[in-house]
């Protein structure tokens, strides 16, 4: 082979040194075709000799030893010219023959797959020939069509399958190619089921119990791109599926027509504001990312394309923009989903009014929203959610005002469109024209969202450069409607707030203290403005929590190091202390990671990496922050994104670590030690001891006068005067937090020994929390740790020593049974002689929490500790959480449903069978199987229903299984159970689906219309099998992320194949069909799980993906080549192998290219043993240049068969 290469010099031309016979053959065949092409172009003077497109096989005529142009012209005769034209025509026809011939076309396809740069040059020259050759125009239609099709689709080498007789009986029923036609096999409502993972991930993202570490935009974008490729749909169908899923989310969460129902959905969970953010900001940004990525790739390709010369205009916009327009036009047909929730009806009507004003020819400025709300435009019933979606897309430059001309977009008739409008000037217009921030104007701007980047920038500049009063006003405006309801500018508002809360020392600052102390009031307004549950979750969805956390850490470090002196004055005239700023910043910061995580939860988290999992520590927050900023702007995708941001916005890329915050770092280490072990003794006379004594005296001054000290450690200062106690507490907040665990330990010990009443304990804890609200963090973590130690005696919840839950316990039980209609709920009956009990630390913690009133001032504190109470009680023996729920709803009835649902989740924490039953309900409800489905039609509505709280007037009803699963899977004790049970449940679902197939389908007969009997029924069954696999893969990925998928592929699935009994299969043709469908279901399931976990393209290479897939392919190869024996049905195994490899080859070729070359060759041989000859060849064809020679040899061999 090397001798042949020395003669032909192929290795020099193609810059590689592979001398395998197959590789040389491919290069030789391609060289012949390419030389013919270059010669044909040269004959007509069309050959491009620029540096970028210099021909490989021919040199310029003046470089050759030939006569010059003049002498050549003298010698040329008409006969010679005619002969040359015939030669050129013959060369072009030979090229077409090469592309049409079965064997040579397959050989040339190897160049397309494995030598892409040379193939692109070849295509470029082919396009020159097709576009400019006069000889080509006169050739036969067959030749012309072959070359034209090649230029229009550069990947379409005319290819032919080799028809090799197969022994596999299942191919008579289902062709391997049909496996990839996900969308084509969908009927009616099942189309929406193709996008079921989007519905699930949107619903999971709305779970307020988790502050996600990563951007929902990036997670959903990756999922949408994966589903687009897997389903094989056009982008407008993909976008439509995304819009419909987001609208269904709004319908589930936002349609609450009565105040009672709206209140019943309250709790420390996101509500409508977050839901609308998901539809109008997050979903719109997902579409924006996809369009920007496509157009960024087009720009890069144009810059490196041989056809682009300097000065060439930018390439045309990508196809995705046009597909977006189509999707939004089709969205108008979904009227039932477009009805806006009552709280956003005004905004929807205003968006419709803007279109009406635009069509009337009136200028529409930034104040149109305020104008239309007061001037009687024809908007009473015209606005819907599509109008808001379109406005969000226009704001991000995805659309222009031509959208207003779409048929049916506006409903106003011509006589309703106003001819003119008044000279009304809106609040934002006044600001942009230079008006001062008067109190009246501030109130207007707080209540009205900004509509443009310029308006947000104006407020930001005031926040930076204005007077102290103007800065506070600007901060108030930024945290107002622009943050919560300004969906068109929400991302920008979040970025500016994050920037303002990430302060750095001014260049000219020379003060002894941090400059932040002078900005206390300004910073406090920002912190308080973003502390609501919805605001925190909106930051989380946009992926800004890591950036925001670093700024809050600095604020905590500075203000926590100051004594509690006044540092500013609030608008109400009240003094603002350093401690207040610290407590507000600290309690907000601690909501960003699970500071109260119990050891059992730590074990569970180590086994899972769900897409919306929370971070475990402040170090993780900073690592994510550093990574984000270090990579920002490096890729074309990021550069496209930065164009949408403000030019005055920037974040320092310097890394930040915990060592930058010594006080916070010290507290965190002590916090971790307190969770892991009991407290060590205090040093007598030390500063911490003095603070402990002072705090105990403050908390229990009413009961300690004349009494024994609470603990021996505090006796040294029991007689200290009040002035001394006050002086002892005038210390930095960090010193107070260090002392609090000892205070809590002394208090709980005194209560346990009867020295302190339970009522006094609860009162003292409340006084401590009021004294320093940041102490709630330490209180929560201390009680959580003490519960897990199990060293405290139980507290009797009898109504005397501790509050009694008896009055509400039966009601809670009934509500839980309503929610879990199909699950056995353990009884809550309590013997009258044995009152219910709780662990003492939990009883104390609950007693503290129920002392809080539910109002705006305390909501942020309850949002911090309520999830801790819930997770802590769920980890205790049954029925601890139902008891806590009964106590809570006595105090805060508006949160009753939140706690009842939390109590319901405890059933799954303690009952393995309940988890299995819930999983089965998810499948039966989605597929519409059985009578247990509360929504008989199945699909998305069957799985997710109408959300957490059903719209009925007398309490809650059964919750749809999908909603229930998404709310409880994080609290399941043995989370690995999901992976172990999912395969058997999927197999049971396939069996139920197959039971509807008509008999005799193995030998169908053609009807007069050419459709085989049973073909439609089988296609419907295959579609349902795909949907079952789609659901299973979605649940695995959402519950545990890549770690779960890796465990599934490497452990669970091989064990199932090696242990599955053949006796479970029925006999005869129906048994064969069931076995085959099971194999295909597993193929879909595994492929989708891998795709969700690591994507299907090569934009971000994943080493773990290559390792996991490589190990599984090794498993397949060992079985195919008879080194491992399977115990499952042979039809199941064959269908699984052929189905999975088909999906990889057709939808994820990059996975094949990442595999080891020897493995691919062995796997190809194994497929041939299974009579999958065509699939064996396709595997090698796309496997890369390493196996190209083997693919060529197989092509030659097939030709001889």
pLDDT per residue as tens digits for the range 55-113: 666 643 344 444 444 544 555 567 777 788 888 889 888 988 888 888 888 898 898 88
Beta strands in 578-646 (DSSP E): none
Please check whether residues 249 and 142 belong to one and the same domain: no
pLDDT grade, residue 1020 (50/70/90)? confident
pLDDT of 1007: 44
Burial 803-832 (b: 16+ CB within 10 A, else e): bbbbebbeebbebbbbbbebbebeebebee
Average pLDDT over residues 297-326: 71
* Chain position carrying tokens 């409502």: 189
Q: Among 328, 331, 366, 371, which Cα is nearest to 350's?
A: 371
Contact between residue 510 and residue 557 where contact means Cβ atoms under 8 Å apart: no
How far, in Å, CA of 847 to CA of 761, rounded?
Answer: 9
pLDDT in tens, 1051-1071: 999 988 888 654 454 555 567
How far, in Å, CA of 263 to CA of 253, rounded?
Answer: 12
Percent of the chain topping pLDDT 70: 77
Average pLDDT over residues 1081-1090: 95
pLDDT in tens, 263-284: 445 666 767 899 999 999 999 9
Average pLDDT over residues 532-543: 91
Q: Which of 424, 446, 469 is the last residue of a domain?
A: 424
Average pLDDT over residues 229-246: 94
Q: Among 997, 1042, 1040, which Cα is nearest to 1020's?
A: 997
* Chain position carrying tokens 């049909």: 178
- Whether 578 is in a domain gets the answer no
pLDDT in tens, 137-157: 777 766 777 777 766 554 555
pLDDT of 193: 82
- Whether 598 is in a domain gets the answer no
How far, in Å, CA of 503 to CA of 259, rounded?
Answer: 41
Neighbours of 899 (CB within 10 A): 25
pLDDT of 597: 63
Neighbours of 1099 (CB within 10 A): 13
Q: Which of 772, 791, 810 is the last residue of a domain?
A: 791
Neighbours of 749 (CB within 10 A): 14
Residue 186 DSSP label: -
Least confident stretch, 507-511, 606-610, 775-779, 1153-1157: 507-511
- Whether 364 is in a domain gets the answer yes
pLDDT of 572: 59
Range of the domain at 723: 661-791
* Phi-psi label, residue 754: left if phi above 0, alpha if psi -120 to 50, beta otherwise: left
Please check whether residues 1079 and 1109 belong to one and the same domain: yes
pLDDT in tens, 803-854: 888 888 888 888 888 888 778 888 877 665 678 899 999 999 999 988 887 7
Please check whether residues 228 and 353 belong to one and the same domain: no
Number of structural domains the chain divides into? 6
Please check whether residues 356 and 320 belong to one and the same domain: no
Angle value at C-alpha 887, between 882 and 892, nearest 5 degrees: 115
pLDDT grade, residue 371 (50/70/90)? very low
Distances (CA, A) of 141 to 96, 145, 996: 11, 6, 49
Percent of the chain topping pLDDT 90: 35
Please check whether residues 444 and 384 belong to one and the same domain: no
pLDDT of 1101: 63
pLDDT grade, residue 366 (50/70/90)? very low
pLDDT of 266: 60
- Whether 893 is in a domain gets the answer no
Angle value at C-alpha 78, between 74 and 80, nearest 5 degrees: 80
Report the SS3 class of residue 2: helix
Average pLDDT over residues 170-181: 46
Please check whether residues 384 and 284 belong to one and the same domain: no
pLDDT of 54: 62
If you average pLDDT over each of 33-47, 587-601, 947-961, which comes out highest?
A: 33-47
If you average pLDDT over each of 377-386, 559-568, 975-984, which comes out highest?
A: 975-984
- Whether 946 is in a domain gets the answer no
Please check whether residues 301 and 262 belong to one and the same domain: yes
pLDDT of 1080: 94
Average pLDDT over residues 855-862: 77
1154 token code pair: 């990442």
- Tell me, rounded to whole angstroms, the distance of Cα 996 from its chain centroid: 36
Please check whether residues 217 and 325 belong to one and the same domain: yes
- Whether 199 is in a domain gets the answer no
- Whether 302 is in a domain gets the answer yes
813 token code pair: 């039980």
pLDDT of 301: 73
pLDDT of 1064: 52
Least confident stretch, 420-424, 523-527, 774-778, 1021-1025: 420-424
Task: List CB contacts of 760: < 8 A, sequence separation 6 or more.
Answer: 700, 702, 703
pLDDT of 516: 84
Please check whether residues 215 and 361 belong to one and the same domain: no
How far, in Å, CA of 478 to CA of 450, rounded?
Answer: 9
Q: Which of 791, 824, 856 is the last residue of a domain?
A: 791
How far, in Å, CA of 1080 to CA of 213, rounded?
Answer: 35
Please check whether residues 692 and 743 belong to one and the same domain: yes
Least confident stretch, 210-219, 652-661, 1103-1112: 210-219
pLDDT of 1130: 87
Mean pLDDT over each residue of the chain, to the nearest integer: 80
pLDDT at 751 over 90: yes
pLDDT at 1182 over 60: yes
pLDDT of 1125: 75
Q: Among 6, 18, 22, which Cα is nearest to 1181's?
A: 22
Please check whether residues 287 and 236 belong to one and the same domain: yes
- Whether 842 is in a domain gets the answer no
Please check whether residues 219 and 275 belong to one and the same domain: yes
pLDDT at 406 over 60: yes
């Amino acid at each position: 082979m090397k001798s042949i290469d020395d003669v032909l010099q192929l290795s020099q031309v193609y810059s590689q040194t592979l001398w395998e016979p197959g590789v040389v053959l491919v290069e030789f065949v391609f060289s012949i075709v390419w030389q013919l092409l270059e010669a044909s172009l040269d004959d007509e003077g069309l050959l491009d000799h620029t540096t970028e497109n210099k021909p490989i096989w021919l040199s310029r005529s003046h470089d050759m030893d030939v006569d010059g142009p003049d002498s050549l012209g003298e010698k040329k005769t008409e006969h010679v010219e005619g002969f040359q034209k015939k030669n050129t025509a013959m060369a072009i026809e030979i090229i077409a023959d090469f592309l049409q011939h079965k064997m040579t076309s397959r050989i040339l396809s190897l160049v397309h797959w494995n030598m892409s740069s040379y193939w692109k040059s070849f295509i470029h020259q082919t396009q020159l020939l097709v576009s400019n050759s006069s000889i080509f125009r006169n050739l036969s239609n067959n030749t012309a069509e072959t070359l034209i099709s090649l230029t229009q689709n550069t990947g379409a080498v005319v290819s032919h399958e080799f028809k090799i007789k197969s022994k596999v009986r299942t191919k008579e029923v289902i062709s391997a190619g049909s496996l990839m036609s996900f969308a084509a096999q969908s009927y009616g409502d099942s189309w929406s089921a193709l996008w079921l993972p989007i519905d699930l991930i949107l619903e999971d993202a709305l779970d307020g119990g988790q502050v996600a570490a990563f951007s929902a935009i990036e997670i959903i974008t990756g999922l949408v791109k994966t589903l687009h490729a897997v389903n094989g749909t056009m982008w407008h169908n993909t976008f439509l599926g995304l819009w419909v899923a987001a609208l269904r989310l709004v319908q589930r969460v936002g349609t609450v027509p009565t105040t009672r129902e709206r209140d019943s959905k309250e709790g420390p969970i996101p509500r409508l504001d977050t839901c609308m953010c998901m539809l109008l900001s997050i979903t719109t940004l997902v579409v924006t990312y996809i369009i920007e990525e496509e157009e960024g790739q087009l720009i890069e390709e144009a810059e490196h394309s041989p056809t682009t010369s300097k000065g060439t205009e930018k390439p045309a916009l990508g196809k995705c923009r046009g597909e977006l327009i189509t999707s939004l036009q089709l969205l108008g047909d979904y009227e039932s989903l477009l009805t806006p929730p009552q709280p956003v009806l005004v905004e929807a009507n205003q968006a419709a009014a803007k279109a009406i004003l635009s069509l009337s020819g009136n200028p529409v400025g930034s104040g149109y929203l305020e104008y239309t709300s007061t001037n009687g435009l024809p908007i009473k019933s015209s606005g819907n959610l599509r109008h808001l979606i379109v406005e969000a897309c226009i704001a991000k430059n995805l659309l222009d005002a031509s959208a207003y001309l779409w048929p049916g977009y506006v409903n106003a008739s011509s006589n309703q469109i106003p001819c003119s409008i008044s000279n009304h000037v809106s609040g934002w217009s006044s600001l942009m024209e230079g008006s001062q921030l008067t109190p009246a104007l501030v109130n207007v701007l707080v209540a009205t969202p900004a509509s443009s980047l310029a308006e947000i920038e104006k407020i930001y500049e005031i926040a930076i450069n204005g007077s102290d009063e103007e800065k506070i006003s600007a901060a108030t405006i930024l945290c107002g409607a622009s943050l919560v309801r300004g969906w068109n500018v929400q991302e920008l508002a979040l970025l500016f707030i994050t920037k303002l809360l990430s302060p750095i020392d001014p260049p000219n600052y020379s003060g002894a203290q941090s400059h932040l102390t002078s900005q206390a009031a300004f910073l406090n307004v920002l912190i308080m403005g973003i502390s609501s549950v919805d605001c925190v979750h909106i930051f989380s969805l946009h992926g800004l929590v890591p950036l925001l956390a670093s700024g809050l850490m600095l604020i905590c470090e500075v203000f926590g190091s100051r004594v509690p002196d006044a540092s500013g004055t609030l608008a109400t005239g009240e003094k603002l202390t350093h401690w207040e700023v610290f407590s507000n910043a600290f309690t907000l910061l601690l909501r960003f990671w699970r500071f109260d995580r119990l050891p059992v939860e730590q074990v569970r988290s180590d086994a899972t990496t769900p897409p919306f999992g929370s971070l475990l520590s402040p170090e993780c927050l900073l690592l994510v922050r550093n990574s984000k900023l270090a990579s920002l702007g490096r890729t074309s995708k990021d550069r496209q994104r930065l164009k949408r941001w403000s030019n005055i916005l920037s974040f320092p890329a310097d890394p930040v670590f915990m060592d930058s915050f010594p006080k916070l770092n010290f507290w965190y280490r002590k916090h971790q030690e307190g969770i892991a072990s009991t407290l060590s003794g205090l040093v007598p006379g030390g500063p911490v001891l003095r603070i402990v004594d002072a705090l105990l005296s403050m908390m229990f001054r009413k009961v300690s006068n004349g009494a024994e000290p609470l603990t021996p450690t505090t006796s040294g200062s029991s007689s200290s005067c009040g002035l001394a106690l006050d002086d002892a507490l005038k210390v930095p907040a960090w010193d107070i937090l260090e002392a609090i665990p000892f205070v809590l330990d002394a208090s709980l010990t005194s209560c346990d020994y009867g020295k302190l009443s339970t009522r006094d304990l609860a009162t003292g804890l409340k006084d401590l929390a009021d004294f320093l609200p940041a102490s709630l963090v330490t209180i929560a973590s201390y009680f959580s740790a003490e519960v897990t130690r199990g060293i405290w005696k139980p507290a009797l919840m009898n109504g005397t020593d501790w509050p009694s839950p008896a009055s509400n316990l039966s009601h809670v039980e009934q509500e839980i049974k309503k929610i879990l209609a199909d699950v056995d709920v353990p009884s809550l009956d309590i013997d009258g002689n044995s009152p219910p009990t709780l662990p003492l630390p939990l009883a104390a913690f609950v007693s503290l929490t129920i002392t809080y009133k539910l109002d705006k001032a305390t909501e942020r504190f309850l949002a911090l500790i309520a999830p801790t109470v819930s997770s802590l009680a769920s980890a205790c023996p049954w029925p601890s959480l139902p008891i806590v729920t009964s106590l809570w709803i006595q105090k805060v009835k508006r949160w009753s449903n939140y706690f009842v649902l939390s109590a319901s989740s405890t059933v799954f924490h303690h009952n393995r069978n309940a988890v299995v039953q819930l999983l089965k309900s998810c499948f039966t409800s989605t597929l519409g199987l059985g009578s247990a489905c509360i929504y008989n039609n199945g699909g998305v509505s069957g799985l997710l229903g109408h959300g957490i709280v059903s719209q009925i007037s007398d309490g809650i009803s059964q919750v749809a299984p999908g909603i229930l699963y998404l709310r409880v899977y994080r609290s399941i004790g043995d989370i690995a159970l999901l992976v172990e049970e999912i395969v058997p449940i999927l197999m049971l679902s396939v069996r139920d689906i197959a039971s509807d197939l008509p008999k005799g389908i193995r030998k169908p007969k053609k009807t007069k219309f050419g459709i085989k009997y049973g073909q439609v029924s089988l296609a419907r069954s295959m579609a349902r099998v795909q949907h079952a696999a789609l659901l299973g893969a979605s649940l695995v990925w959402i519950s545990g992320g890549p770690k779960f998928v890796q465990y599934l592929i490497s452990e669970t699935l091989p064990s199932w194949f090696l242990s599955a009994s053949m006796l479970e299969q029925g006999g005869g043709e129906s048994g064969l069909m069931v076995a085959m469908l099971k194999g295909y279901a597993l193929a879909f399931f595994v492929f989708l799980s891998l795709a969700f976990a690591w994507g299907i393209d090569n934009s971000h290479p994943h080493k773990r993906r290559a390792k996991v897939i490589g190990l599984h392919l090794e498993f397949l190869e060992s079985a195919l080549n008879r080194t491992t024996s399977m115990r499952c049905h042979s039809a199941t195994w064959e269908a699984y192998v052929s189905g999975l490899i088909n999906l990889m080859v057709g939808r994820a070729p990059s996975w094949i290219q990442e595999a080891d070359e020897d493995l691919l060759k062995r796997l190809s041989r194994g497929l041939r043993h299974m009579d999958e000859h065509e699939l064996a060849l396709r595997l090698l064809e796309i496997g890369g240049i390493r196996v190209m020679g083997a693919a060529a040899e197989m092509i030659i061999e097939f030709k001889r068969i």
